[in-house]
Amino acid sequence: MPVTYSVSSKPMKNFTKNKIICGDCVEILKTFPNECIDLVVTSPPYDNTRFYKTSNEKELNKIWNFEKFKQLSKELYRIMKDGGVIVWVCNDAVINGSESGTSFRYALYFKEIGFNLHDTMIYMKNSAPFPEKNRYYQCFEYMFVISKGTPKTFNPIKDRKVKWKEPWGQRSERLKDGTLVRKKFINYHEYSIRRNVWKYNTGYGFSTKDEIAYKHPAIFPEQLAIDHIRTWTNEDDLVLDPLAGSCTTCKAAKLLKRNYICIDIFEEYCKIGEERLKRVVPKLL
Ligand SMILES: C[S@@+](CC[C@H](N)C(=O)[O-])C[C@H]1O[C@@H](n2cnc3c(N)ncnc32)[C@H](O)[C@@H]1O
């Protein structure tokens, strides 16, 4: 059963949108009104794979740890609208030869406090770090789609070219008893809904054309944020990134005429975001 978290004691008097806020995400979200956010697209620090502006694991642990995640997820439950969606992009470090499994801990904790684990999606990269000798190249991250109830908006992207154009084209479906049935296409469309593994070109010059963004050590591709925002929101909805880094999510939201709020604990990253947002001309893609 969903757990209801207490109403914030000091909700922000003048809750304004379309801004970047510098500070600790949990403390800032405590000032947000209940049920104000339509979509979150975010990614946390991945174990200790980057130190950001801190100098070592111990320092990083002061700003981000599993306890902080628990507090953040509870605040998110309070401020998400019914049917709101969180896209949680993450991956694990390999520690002493074993993957940490932190990604799954995050996903299961979201469920524990009342969210749905709506879809476990994959973000596949064309670049991959050189692996240790005994494993394959690591070329994907998780995109957990977490929802508060049933997602209220779903605008599926239809960009998968349908292979069988001929009217005699068939699709097969396996029934629960194992029988294979063949079905004829009735309504043929040239493009069909995309599957839940999304592939992006990554790395310098591909994740974004904004050179300044690469001053942040761990950006996700702009197109990833654009695709999720188009899928889970409509124009004028409010999109949040509480761990915003270079503000990729907010750039995408502004571009798509959505409202946005970005939070990052480090001023230097917030400044990168301000610079990126200045240049954005909103348009509906
Ligand atoms: C993986 S990065 C996000 C990158 C972002 N998706 C982008 O495209 O630029 C995670 C960010 O979380 C921020 N962060 C870590 N702990 C935080 C906290 N307690 N409050 C706010 N931001 C935090 C870090 O400074 C870092 O920029």
The enclosing domain of 118 has a CATH number of: 3.40.50.150
Same domain, 165 and 262: no
Question: Ligand 1 center to residue 45 CA distance, Å?
Answer: 6
* Rounded distance between C-alpha atoms, residue 71 and residue 68, angstroms: 5
The Cα diameter of the chain in Å comes to 63
Number of domains in the chain: 2
Same domain, 92 and 103: yes
Query: Ligand 1 pocket test: which of 48, 264, 270 has the largest number of ligand atoms within 8 Å of its C-beta?
Result: 264
Same domain, 186 and 72: no
Which region among 29-33, 157-161, 177-181, 278-282 has the lowest average model confidence (pLDDT)?
278-282
User: Would the CB of 221 count as within 6 Å of ligand 1?
Assistant: no
The strand order across the sheet containing 140-147 reads 19-22, 259-264, 238-241, 37-42, 80-90, 140-147, 116-125, 197-200
Amino acid at 271: K
Q: Is the pLDDT of residue 170 over 70?
A: no
What pLDDT score was predicted for residue 10? 53
**Where are the alpha helices (H) located in the chain, listed in sequence order?**
25-29, 57-63, 66-79, 102-112, 222-232, 248-255, 267-278
What pLDDT score was predicted for residue 78? 98
Q: Is the pLDDT of residue 153 over 50?
A: yes
Query: Ligand 1 pocket test: which of 243, 251, 274 has the largest number of ligand atoms within 8 Å of its C-beta?
Result: 243
Same domain, 245 and 120: yes
Q: Are 62 and 71 in contact (CB under 8 A)?
A: no
Same domain, 184 and 139: no
Q: Is the pLDDT of residue 7 over 70?
A: no
Ligand 1 atom nearest to CA at 50:
1
Q: Is the pLDDT of residue 63 over 90?
A: no
Taking all residues of the chain, what is their mean pLDDT, rounded to a whole number?
89
Give the model's confidence band at 15: pLDDT under 50 very low, under 70 low, under 90 confident, else very high. confident
- Whether residue 186 is contained in a domain is answered as yes
What pLDDT score was predicted for residue 68? 96
Same domain, 166 and 40: no
What pLDDT score was predicted for residue 64? 93
Same domain, 76 and 115: yes
* Phi, psi for 78 (deg, rounded to 5): -70, -40
User: Would the CB of 230 count as within 6 Å of ligand 1?
Assistant: no
Residue 199's nearest CA partner among 252, 160, 239, 167 is 160
- Whether residue 52 is contained in a domain is answered as yes
Same domain, 132 and 174: no
Of 206 and 251, which is predicted with more confidence? 251
Domain extent, residue 168, equals: 161-192
Residue 240's nearest CA partner among 125, 79, 116, 132 is 79
Share of the chain above pLDDT 90, in %: 65
Same domain, 230 and 257: yes
Same domain, 41 and 182: no
What pLDDT score was predicted for residue 284? 56
